Chains A and B, each alone.
Chain A
Amino acid sequence: MPHQCTTCDRTFPDGSKEMLSGCPDCGGNKFQFTPKRPQSSTQREEGRQRTSGQSMTTDDDSTATGDSAIPTDESASSEGSPPGESSSFGAWPDSARRPADRSDASLTESDRVESGTHGRRQESGTDFTGDSTGADTSVSAEEENAAQASARSDVVTRDELPAHTRDGQHEDPLEGTAHEAPPETHEGRVVSEPDEERPSLDELREELNDQFESIKIVRPGQYELNLMELYDREEYIVSLQEDGRYVIDVPDSWRDGDDH
C-alpha cells in the first residue's frame, strides 16, 4: 500500500480518501508514502482469483461458449496488442480514460482496436455466457476501477482536496514532485504495463509545475510564485523540501496550531 499511517501502521491504497480526514483507526494525521507498490500486484492477484472463481461458475453453465471466447481474445491480441494489454484495456472501458490520457497514440489506438474487436465479437453473435466470460476480466477490472481509479481521480481533483482534508496534517503526496508522480503515472498503466519505465525526475517536476503552479521551483533557491494560486488554496504550504516536495498544512490543524 502506498500510504501508511505512521502511528498505527494502517495502510491505504493510493488515492484513498479515507486518510484525508485522518486515520480512521487512530486519528493519526501523518502518513508515509511508499512509491513502491507491491499492493497492486496483490490486488491483481486477487482480481485473478475472483476472475477464476467466476470463470468456474460460467464454465458450469456453458463451457463451450467460454471456450469460444478465448480464441476471440487471442485474435484480438493478434491484431497488434500484447495479450495482457489488450484484454485489460478492452475490459476496462471506464477507467480507460486515464491510461489513454497518459499514453501515446499507439496505446490509444490499440485500445480502440480492442474495443472494436469486442464489438465485433458481440455482433458476431457470441451469446450471453460468452460475453460474461469476456466480462470476467471486466468485473475484476471494474472493481479495481471503483477502488482505485475513482479514488485516484478524487485525489487528483484539486477542488475536492481541501474539502476533505479537514483535520490532518500530512505530507501530501499530491504536492510532491519526486514521489507522487511515479505511482500516479505508474498506477494509470499498471494493469497494462506493470513494469514500465519511469519518467525522469526533471520531466516529473516539469509536469507537476504545470499542474500545481502555486510555487514553481526553478532550481534550489530560485522560486516563482503564483500569488492568486497561493491565496486561493485552503491548504497552506508550510515548508519546501530540497527535492521539490512540499509539506502542507490543512485548514483546521492550521487554525488549531497558530504557534507554528
Chain B
Amino acid sequence: MGLISGLRDSISRVTDGLFSEQEPKRIGIYGPPNAGKTTLANRIARDWTGDAIGTESHIPHETRRARRKEGVEIERNGKSVTIDIVDTPGVTTKVDYEEFTDEMDKDDAIRRSREATEGVAEAMHWLREDVDGVIYVLDSAEDPITQVNTMLIGIIESRDLPVLIFANKIDLEESSVKRIEDAFPQHKTVPLSAKEGENMDEVYGNIAEYFG
C-alpha cells in the first residue's frame, strides 16, 4: 500500500509538472463544534498561502458550509505535499437554537441551527464522497469520548482514510493530551494550539508525512 501510494505520488508529481490540473489530495478537517477547526484551517492557510479560509468564532456552528482552500503546498523535511484543505462544519447529533439565544435573537438562532444542521449533512457527505484524508480536531480541554467522536472516527476508519488526531487548545489549563491519546490509541495524536500557533512544526511534519 505504501509502495503503491508512493509510486502514485511520484507519478502525480511528474504529471503535476506536465498538467497543472492534477488534483491534490483533499484533506478534510473534521471534529465536533468549537474544537478549533476553522482556527486551524486559517492557521495552515495563512502559514502557507497568506490567506484565511473562514471566520472564527467562540459561538458554535460559525462554520456552516464546508469551505475549501485549494492547492496549499506544505513542505517539511524535504517532503512536499499539496493539499486542498476542507474546513467542515462541526459535526454533532443535536442542534438546538436555544444554545445561541444568549448571543443573538431567536430568529437568528433558529436560522443558525438550521444552517448548522445542513452543514452537518454536508460534512457527512464530503466525508463519504470527497475526502482523501482526515485531520480530526478535538478540544483537548474536553472529554474526547463522545458519541460523535466515536462514531465519526469509526466511519473514518471504516473508509480506511489516513487520519491524524489533533489535540487542540493545549494553551488551556484544563487541556489533557493524554486523555485523547488514551481514547484513540490507534491513531497518531498531535498536540497543538492553533490559536497560539504552538507546536505547528510538528503539525506540518505530520501532515507532510501522513498525507504526502
Contact = CB atoms under 8 A, between A and B. Distances in A.
Interface residues of A, number: 24
Contacts of A227: 91, 93, 120, 124, 148, 151-152, 155
A236 to B, nearest CB: 4
Interface in B88-129: 91-98, 106, 109-110, 113-114, 117-118, 120-122, 124-125, 127-129
A125 interface: no
Interface string A207-240: 0000000110000111111111011111011111
Main secondary structure of the interface of B (DSSP, over half): helix
Interface residues of B, number: 27
A230 B128 CA distance: 9
Interface in B140-181: 148, 151-152, 155
Contact of B95 (A223, A236, A255): A223
A233 B120 CA distance: 13
Nearest to B68: A258
A226 B148 CA distance: 10
Given A236-B125, A255-B129, A225 B120 contact: yes
A214 B125 CA distance: 12
A224 B128 CA distance: 20
Contact of A251 (B91, B97, B129): B129
Nearest to A231: B124
A251 B126 CA distance: 11
A234 B124 CA distance: 10
A33 B151 CA distance: 36
Contacts of B113: 221-223
A240 B117 contact: yes
Interface of B: 91-98, 106, 109-110, 113-114, 117-118, 120-122, 124-125, 127-129, 148, 151-152, 155
